[in-house]
């Protein structure tokens, strides 16, 4: 039996100030892997942080993950050169993986934040979206999705915070928020 392929791959964007953008992308990855599709997740900015998904993703067939970043929040503008370098390395991998056509779904987790921090140019990402193989589904997550990305995407979901436990002083919980 030949490897399953999507007949038509779309571009999805999960953005907004609410919780759940990465979780939605990982849910999609899990669903796709269960159907035999190959998924590659590239995390921008998240390298060096302790996220729960890192402990299990390598045990799931058909899902690969690579995280980039220094394990520190980026609070300076312009951002430090090392952060720009990490984002560029992540983008080059994203381009290689997407253009290879080997993966059915490519998730670019937190790429919208990288764009907002000007670690990457919007033009580069738009070019990747435009030139991806027809069968590849491309998923871009993160707050602050630029309007150009939103306009070029096929599906855009905005997570909107209505209420959050942080407002009551509840700290992030292991296994839930990270």
> Where residue 52 falls among pLDDT bands split at 50, 70, 90?
confident
> Where residue 4 falls among pLDDT bands split at 50, 70, 90?
low
DSSP per position, 1-58: -PPP--SS--EEEEESSSS-HHHHHHHHHHHHHHTT--EEEEESS-TTS--GGGGTGG
> Where residue 1 falls among pLDDT bands split at 50, 70, 90?
very low
Closest CA to 28 of 103, 106, 102, 84: 106
Please give the model's pTM, rounded to 2 decimal places: 0.92
Domain 11-161: assigned CATH number: 3.40.50.300
Q: Identify the DSSP state of 116.
A: H
Phi, psi of 100 (to 5 degrees): -65, -30
Residue 114, helix vs strand vs coil: helix
Residue pLDDT, tens place only, 89-145: 999 999 999 999 999 999 999 999 999 999 999 999 999 999 999 999 999 999 999
pLDDT at 73 over 80: yes
Give the Cα separation of 42 and 166 in Å (integer). 27
Q: What is the pLDDT of residue 164?
A: 87
Burial call 76-89: b when 16+ CB within 10 Å, e when fewer: eeebeeebbebbee
Domain spans of the chain, in order of start: 11-161
Are 52 and 92 a contacting pair, CB within 8 Å? no
pLDDT at 11 over 80: yes
User: Taking residues 14-32, what's their average pLDDT?
Assistant: 96
Q: What is the pLDDT of residue 104?
A: 98
Looking at the DSSP bridge assignments, the partners of residue 63 are 39
């Amino acid at each position: 039996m030949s490897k399953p392929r999507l007949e038509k791959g779309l571009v999805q964007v999960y953005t907004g100030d609410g919780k759940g953008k990465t979780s939605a992308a990982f849910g999609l990855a899990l669903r796709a892997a269960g159907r035999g599709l190959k998924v590659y997740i590239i995390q921008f900015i998240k390298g060096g942080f302790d996220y729960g998904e890192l402990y299990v993703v390598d045990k799931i067939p058909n899902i690969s993950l690579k995280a980039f970043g220094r394990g520190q929040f980026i609070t300076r503008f312009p951002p430090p050169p090392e952060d720009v370098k990490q984002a560029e390395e992540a983008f080059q991998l994203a381009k290689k993986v997407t253009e290879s056509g080997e993966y059915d779904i490519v998730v670019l987790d937190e790429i919208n934040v990288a764009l907002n921090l000007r670690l990457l140019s919007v033009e580069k990402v738009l070019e990747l979206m435009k030139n991806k193989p027809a069968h590849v589904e491309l998923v871009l997550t993160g707050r602050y999705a630029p309007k150009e990305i939103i306009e070029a995407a096929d599906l855009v979901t905005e997570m909107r915070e209505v209420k959050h436990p942080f407002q009551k002083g509840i700290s992030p919980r292991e296994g839930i928020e990270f």
